[in-house]
């Protein structure tokens, strides 16, 4: 009797183990047979592994300079290829140009695009298929909200929910050139993360402003970040904040900022360089900023020079400029920022027309020549640090902490 019961128990265990194996295989089959559904937007052109290939994505602009094809299509024309699929993988392919819209129907390994059958690869939220000899169109699953932003230029951005340090996200739109038919979306680089909070920095130079608008050039020694016109504009609901929806403004967190003066931090880069007639060093000519500026609480701000070094490192690379005084000053290529396509198209501000690199302000006041008051610290288009008069327009890269949940 005992042996019979033992045999029955063993048989049941075998059946259970066998059932587990079948369930596992069944799950694997389901994963293998999963086909795409929802919205899928073209992100870039890659290789057979779905990897980005720089040369596949570049074309020449009107001036013969290389430009990203996706940026040109979305910013200039508002066009992007995307697919809208039901749960069975059937739907519509929305093409650009002459290709137009077509029916699309996915199977396990292939899909029909109009009358043409193609083989595709799907890996998580990314799929790609050969769209020409040797190059592949890479699509990514996106939300309806992000798709609309991609059409306006956010072709390389991700949703807030999946954003990590180094990613691009889109927040707001900016009318750099009044009179344009539509605004260009603002793309921000995630440079820090704290739980559900992200520190965003405008990825490109969006416009030029004076640190403090002062056409009469009066009371220059009284300028601080706290009382400058640029801070007022960035935090004004009728100014910079008007470029955002109420929901986006509510995501922005009020940040407590220290506004320390920068002298030693700057002089370590150019304190020993002489003026053009070799009589004095910068440190001899400089007027020490006597006190730090007051702390402030802001939604939108500029990075301090200390924060530039914190997030992008110090300058240690040789200069790319062979003219005085730039030739002797170290640079950091990670400090370099370029203008947006809208700024470029409208020729606004002073920037290098070949590299598109421009000078951008920090919120840090620095040393100044005796006769001309306070000066604002800025990063040059080549990635060097300088200071200049607070009333002269330079480009801006606003920063903001947002809460995503």
Domain-terminating residue out of 104, 138, 156: 156
- Domain-embedded: residue 184: no
Residues 65 and 79 both lie in one domain:
yes
Query: Are 309 and 272 members of one domain?
Result: yes
360 in a structural domain: yes
Number of Cβ atoms within 10 Å of the Cβ of 285: 14
Which has the higher per-residue pLDDT, 327 or 107? 107
Provide the strand spans (E) within 278-336: 286-287, 293-298
**How far apart, in Å, do the first and last CA atoms of the chain sit?**
63
| 396 has a pLDDT exceeding 80 | yes
Residue 277 or 366, more confident: 366
Percent of the chain with pLDDT over 90: 53
If asked whether residues 136 and 59 sit together in one domain, one would say: yes
Q: Please count the helices (runs of H) and the strands (runs of E) in the chain.
A: 9, 23
The pLDDT value given to residue 277: 55
Minimum mean pLDDT among 215-224, 294-303, 333-342, 354-363: which range? 215-224
Q: Which bin fits 275, alpha (ψ -120 to 50), beta or left (φ > 0)?
A: beta
Residues 6+ apart with CB under 8 A from 274: 280, 281, 282
Cβ(386)–Cβ(360) below 8 Å: no
The per-residue pLDDT for range 28-65, each reduced to its tens digit, is: 444 446 899 999 999 999 999 999 999 999 988 777 77
Residue 188, domain member (yes or no): no
Q: What is the mean pLDDT of residues 118-137?
A: 93
Tally of domains in the chain = 3
> CA quadruple 143, 149, 155, 161: dihedral positive or negative?
negative
Per the structure, the complete domain to which residue 236 belongs is given by 200-403
Place of tokens 């640029």: 230
pLDDT score at 404? 92
Query: Residue 81's closest CA among 133, 186, 170, 155?
Result: 155
Q: Tell me whether residue 333 is in a domain.
A: yes
- Whether residues 241 and 321 share a domain: the answer is yes
d(CA 203, CA 193): 16
Same domain, 88 and 122: yes
For position 279, what pLDDT does the model report? 54
| Burial per residue of 130-147, b for 16 or more beta-carbon CB atoms within 10 angstroms, e otherwise | eeeeebbbbbbbbeeebb
Establish if 174 belongs to a structural domain: no
Structural domain contains residue 335:
yes
At residue 356, does pLDDT exceed 50? yes
189, part of any domain: no
Return d(Cα 167, Cα 368) in angstroms, integer: 37
Query: The domain that contains 63 carries what CATH number?
Result: 2.40.128.50
Total Cβ atoms within 10 A of residue 282: 19
Confidence of residue 1 (pLDDT cuts 50, 70, 90): very low
User: Which alpha helices (H) appear in 143-245, and where do they start and end?
Assistant: 144-150, 229-234
Run of H or E residues at 19: helix 2-32
pLDDT in tens, 208-265: 999 999 888 888 888 899 999 999 999 999 999 999 999 999 999 999 999 988 777 7
223 and 367 belong to one structural domain: yes
Token duo for residue 336:
């370099």
Residues 78 and 120 in one domain: yes
Whole-angstrom Cα distance, residue 356 to residue 352?
5
| Per-residue pLDDT at 6 | 38
CA distances in angstroms from 190 to 153, 172, 197, 343, 360, listed in the order given: 17, 15, 10, 22, 18
Q: Rounded to the nearest 5 degrees, what angle is found at the Cα of 355, between the Cα atoms of 351 and 358? A: 30
Distance CA 198, CA 165 (A): 8
- Has residue 105 been placed in a domain? yes
Residue pair 225/377 in contact (Cβ under 8 Å)? The answer is no
Residues 20, 83 share a domain? no
> Are residues 48 and 27 part of one domain?
no
Q: Are residues 123 and 266 in the same domain?
A: no
Q: How far apart are CA 367 and CA 322, in angstroms?
A: 24
Residues 223 and 243 grouped into a single domain: yes
């Amino acid at each position: 009797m005992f042996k019979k019961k033992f045999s029955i128990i063993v048989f049941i265990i075998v059946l259970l183990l066998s059932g587990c194996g079948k369930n596992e295989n069944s799950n694997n089959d389901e994963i293998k047979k999963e086909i795409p559904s929802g919205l899928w937007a073209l992100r870039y052109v890659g290789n057979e592994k779905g990897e980005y290939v720089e040369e596949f994505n570049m074309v020449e602009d009107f001036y013969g300079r290389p430009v990203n094809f996706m940026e040109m299509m979305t910013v200039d024309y508002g066009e992007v290829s995307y697919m809208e699929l039901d749960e069975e993988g059937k739907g519509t392919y929305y093409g650009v140009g002459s290709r137009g819209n077509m029916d699309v129907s996915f199977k396990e390994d292939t899909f029909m695009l109009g009358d043409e059958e193609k083989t595709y690869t799907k890996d998580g939220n990314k799929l790609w298929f050969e769209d020409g000899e040797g190059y592949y169109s890479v699509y990514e699953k996106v939300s309806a909200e992000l798709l609309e932003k991609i059409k306006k230029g956010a072709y390389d951005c991700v949703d807030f929910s999946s954003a990590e340090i180094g990613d691009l996200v889109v927040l707001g739109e900016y009318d750099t050139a009044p009179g344009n038919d539509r605004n260009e979306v603002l793309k921000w680089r995630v440079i820090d993360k704290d739980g559900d909070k992200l520190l965003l920095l405008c990825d490109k130079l969006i416009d030029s402003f004076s640190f403090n608008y002062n056409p009469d050039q009066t009371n220059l020694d009284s300028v601080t970040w706290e009382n400058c016109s640029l801070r007022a504009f960035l935090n004004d609901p009728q100014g910079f904040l008007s470029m955002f929806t109420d929901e986006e403004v509510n995501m922005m967190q009020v940040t407590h900022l220290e506004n320390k003066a920068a002298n030693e931090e700057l002089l370590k880069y150019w304190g020993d360089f002489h003026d053009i007639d070799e009589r004095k060093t910068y440190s001899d000519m400089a007027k020490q900023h006597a006190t730090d500026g007051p702390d402030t609480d802001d939604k939108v701000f500029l990075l301090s020079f200390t924060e530039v070094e914190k997030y992008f490192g110090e300058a240690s690379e040789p200069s790319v400029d062979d003219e005085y005084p730039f030739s002797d000053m170290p640079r950091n290529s990670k400090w370099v920022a370029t203008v947006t396509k809208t700024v470029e198209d409208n020729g606004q501000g002073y920037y290098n027309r070949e590299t598109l690199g421009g000078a951008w302000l920090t919120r840090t006041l620095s040393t100044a020549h005796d006769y001309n008051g306070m000066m604002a610290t800025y990063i040059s288009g080549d990635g060097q640090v300088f200071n200049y008069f607070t009333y002269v327009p330079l480009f801006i890269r606003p920063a903001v902490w947002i809460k995503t949940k």
